[in-house]
Amino acid sequence: MPFLDLADGNSLFYKDWGNITGPPVVFSHGWPLNSDNWENQMFFLGNQGYRVIAHDRRGHGRSSQPWSGNDMDTYADDLHQLFVHLDLTNATMVGHSTGGGEVARFLGRHGTARVSKAVLVGAVTPLLGAIRTNPDGVPLSVFENDRKTLRENGRAQLFWDIPAGPFFGYNRHPENTSLALVQSWFDQAMQAGFVNVYDCIKAYSETDFTEDLKKTEIPVLVIHGDEDQLVPVETTAKRTVKLLKRGQLKVYEGGDHALPNTHVERVNGDLLDFLRS
């Protein structure tokens, strides 16, 4: 399995599939998952002639589980090291949820010399939590309760309740419940390091990506579900697209937070159309 040795001594696991000479598409996953969550999209685009790459963010999946560096700046810097290592140019970046924040911070921090397009799916941009500058965001008590649960009860129950409930929207539509998807989410989440998922909650909920989005001049497709219970569309996607110079918004009616899993064909089709545009 390929690993990149990072500058700080940690290692980053990544997948590099598809046509090695094709246009690169780089995927960033959500909390607390790993690159496996993008397999439907990677397999599809790989078969369309694209080079598809996804990494396990530090502290997640098969990557190192360091005590420090569990913040958006470091996530973006790690990913930039992977770009340099693979000498990627003219790439399209695709990020889901926390991964959308990672993409935005990458573009704001490292520019677009190696990137031609980006896609944000259910992304936490421009700012998820209700801090002073974002009073309409998700109350910080929600995230503190998650951290409290981790501290006091461990993560197994939390990592079952999230996918069994709001992540896939099964609390609203129990008739759609797939225990296989719940189990897959749980298995990925349990691979992550405890301190890493704990610290990442603050990173995805309190990081402000406003300036990153304003600086981004490449085309960006923003995809979001109007029934996303974890990352509300009104305060994230609809604000994100207004900050982008070349943003395009697609709202999926009835769409939940797990669009790459629950709306596979539509997401795949929209990605391919955007890549070809």
Residue 25's beta-bridge partner residues?
Answer: 52, 92
* DSSP calls for 101-170: HHHHHHHHHH-STTEEEEEEES---S--B--TT-TTSB-HHHHHHHHHHHHHH-SHHHHHHHIIIIITTT
Interstrand relation of 220-225 and 24-28 (parallel, antiparallel or unpaired): unpaired
Of 28, 63, 64, 97, which residue is the catalytic one?
97
Quote the tokens at residue 209: 């990506």
The answer to whether 80 is a known catalytic residue is no
Residues with Cβ < 8 Å from 56, sequence gap 6 or more? 12, 13, 14, 29, 34, 35, 62, 63
Among the options 56, 78, 212, 228, which is catalytic? 228
Q: Which of 60, 224, 257, 263 is catalytic?
A: 257
Establish whether 63 is a catalytic residue. no
Share of the chain residues as helix, strand and coil, in percent rounded to the nearest 5: 45, 15, 35
Check if 11 is active-site.
Answer: no
Q: How many residues does the chain have?
A: 277
Which residues does the annotation mark as catalytic? 97, 228, 257
